[in-house]
């Protein structure tokens, strides 16, 4: 048997690129969430069941986010492609959810959700610029906390849909609480971006002036 036909495994436990597959799975879940949230009636899903399906998708997405990093470090599956795709998958997954929430029952203001998009795009641009100049901008704790806060906000809104579907809270209250939740997440997102730029200002200036 040729070596090329043998299954590639790391540490005798996990197939090679398992972490990368989990990252890609997070990207695939994003459009599924969008379609189910926006077109649940056309698909034949009852509104009372929808929150539980959406919560399941969010849980799988966030679990994959934890597992891909854990597996990559523990089984030495850290790759340059993974370093690029992982933060990209995080942005795609979470921003897709909040963009979906600008429609349908939640009705978040689009300008509020764009805060998440602009922050991630701007920071990604700076990291890419520095990488091209041979400088590495390390991840910050504030950035990791930002991801947790955004994920918690998304899960909280979907969970809040459950009492709304049962008629326990009004649409006005549901939308007001959702707005407050996402506004708090947006404020911290802005703070994390400013903190990231401030801490890395010397490297950014060095890369920018080269």
10 φ, ψ (degrees, to nearest 5): -115, 125
Percent of the chain with pLDDT strictly greater than 90: 57
CA dihedral 124, 125, 128, 129 (to 10 degrees): -150
CA distances from 9 to 51, 77, 209 (A): 38, 10, 44
Which pLDDT score is estimated for 14? 52
Task: Name the helix (H) or strand (E) containing 87.
Answer: helix 80-100
- Which pTM was predicted? 0.85
Which domains does the chain possess?
Answer: 11-209 (1.20.120.1760)
Range of lowest pLDDT (9-13, 117-121, 155-159, 196-200)? 9-13
Give residue 205's pLDDT band: very low, low, confident or very high (50, 70, 90).
confident
**Which whole number is the average pLDDT over 12-38?**
82
Res 67 pLDDT > 90: no
Give residue 20's pLDDT band: very low, low, confident or very high (50, 70, 90).
confident
Residues 144-193 pLDDT 10s? 899 999 999 999 999 999 999 999 999 999 999 999 999 999 999 999 99
Which pLDDT score is estimated for 210? 65
């Amino acid at each position: 048997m040729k070596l090329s036909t043998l299954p590639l495994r790391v540490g005798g436990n996990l197939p090679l690129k398992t972490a990368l597959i989990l990252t890609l799975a997070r990207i695939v879940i994003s459009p599924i969430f969008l379609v189910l949230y926006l077109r649940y009636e056309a698909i034949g899903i009852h509104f009372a069941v929808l929150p539980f399906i959406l919560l399941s998708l969010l849980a799988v997405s966030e679990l994959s986010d934890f597992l891909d990093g854990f597996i990559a470090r523990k089984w030495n599956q850290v790759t340059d492609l993974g370093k690029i795709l992982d933060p990209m998958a995080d942005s795609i997954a979470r921003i897709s959810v909040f963009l979906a929430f600008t429609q349908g029952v939640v009705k978040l203001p689009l300008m509020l959700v764009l805060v998440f998009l602009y922050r991630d795009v701007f920071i990604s641009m700076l990291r890419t610029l520095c990488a091209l100049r041979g400088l590495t901008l390390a991840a910050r704790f504030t950035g990791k906390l930002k991801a947790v806060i955004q994920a918690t906000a998304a899960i909280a809104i979907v969970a809040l849909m459950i009492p709304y579907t049962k008629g326990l809270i009004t649409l006005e209250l549901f939308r007001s609480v959702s707005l407050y939740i996402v506004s708090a997440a947006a404020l911290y997102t802005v703070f994390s971006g400013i903190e990231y730029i401030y801490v890395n200002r010397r490297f950014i200036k060095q890369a920018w002036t080269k």
